[in-house]
Amino acid sequence: MKFGLLFTFQLPPGCGIQWHEPYQDMLKCLPRAEELGYYSMYLATHHVKTDGLCPGPIPTMGAAAAVTKKMKIGTAVLLLPMYAPLKLAEDVAVLDNICEGRLILGVAPGYVAEEFAAHGIPREERTGRFEEALDLMIEAWTRDEFEFNGKYFKVPRTVMTPKPFQKPYPQLWYGVSAKSALKRAARRHAIQIMSPRHGIEELREHYAPYEDEAKAIGWSIPSKPIIRQVFVSPTMAQAEAIAAPAIEHLYREVYGKASAAGDRVLRNDDGSTITDHNQVSFDTFKQRYIVGTPEFAIGEISKYRDALGCDEMVCWMHMPGIRGKDVMGSVELFAREVMPVFQ
């Protein structure tokens, strides 16, 4: 089983950390994480957020590529409708050459109404723009000359160089949960990355149409990564003291508010929907994150591996408001006492 790290660069109000600090934390962390055996690093992205959740994955991945040699570098995920697809195809190709083929492009159509409003994009067009943008980008990556005449995007006959280092193009990940979108992911031979919002039973439900479609078209799914909030310390109390405020911020201010606004449903383990973000506390979704001792983490990771067949766990340790030195304690301890059990 492989292990990666997720970065978002979020800062809750009043945490006392400056905007530049989590980016510097990432740059200090990655070379050491690579030495420790972490396989990958990813960025989660959103837009127009008050807590700084990364809106600029392209320059950030370039910085990550510069301080690593072997780690996979990717987005989990980039909100594709927010971008001009030809320009993004160019930037992705350049990045793939900079990192010599270590790039993974995770994409999603997005769901938060305020993001689409701010970018002047009708939310109801997100799925069509998402799929059409990918079609355009693949044309640009794989053809010497191309033109594109879509519903949303039109490109006269032109060329795009450089081509990606990887052939025919970087591995695609989809971050979706709708049944129709999961089927499209399989038809594109894209890896499905599941949100940490979902518990094991929801994840089983989401994987089913993806796996069924893959079987129907004769495609063998090569990898099943999963994202979880992870934080380990010598004692459960120490881990919770550091990680609980960060997790409460995520589940209350990000997932809880989105559910209350009707943008994307967040469900309790009993199936009920969060309709008020103030319903959420650290204990509400305690079964969905891995916060505790190394022994506890080993048990929880084993549950996901055995229940879902996941072969890569992307560990969200750099959570909102946790200082870099505290995260590095978890990064080191996890690599020393947890990772060897699964390798």
Q: What's the pLDDT score for residue 264? A: 82
Among 146, 153, 147, 111, residue whose Cα is nearest residue 132: 153
Segment 159-202, tens digit of pLDDT: 999 999 999 999 999 999 899 999 999 999 999 998 898 889 98
Predicted confidence at residue 221, as pLDDT, reads 97
How much is the pLDDT for 15? 94
Distance of alpha carbon 43 from alpha carbon 104, whole angstroms: 11
pLDDT at position 190, please? Answer: 98
Query: What is the per-residue burial (b if ≥16 Cβ within 10 Å, else e) of 111-127?
Result: bbeebbeeeebebeebb
47-90 pLDDT, tens digit per residue, is 999 999 999 999 999 999 999 999 999 999 999 999 999 999 99
Amino acid 269: pLDDT: 72
Kind and range of the H or E run holding 183 = helix 179-187
Kindly report the pTM of this predicted structure: 0.96
In the numeric block, which tokens belong to residue 326? 């505290």
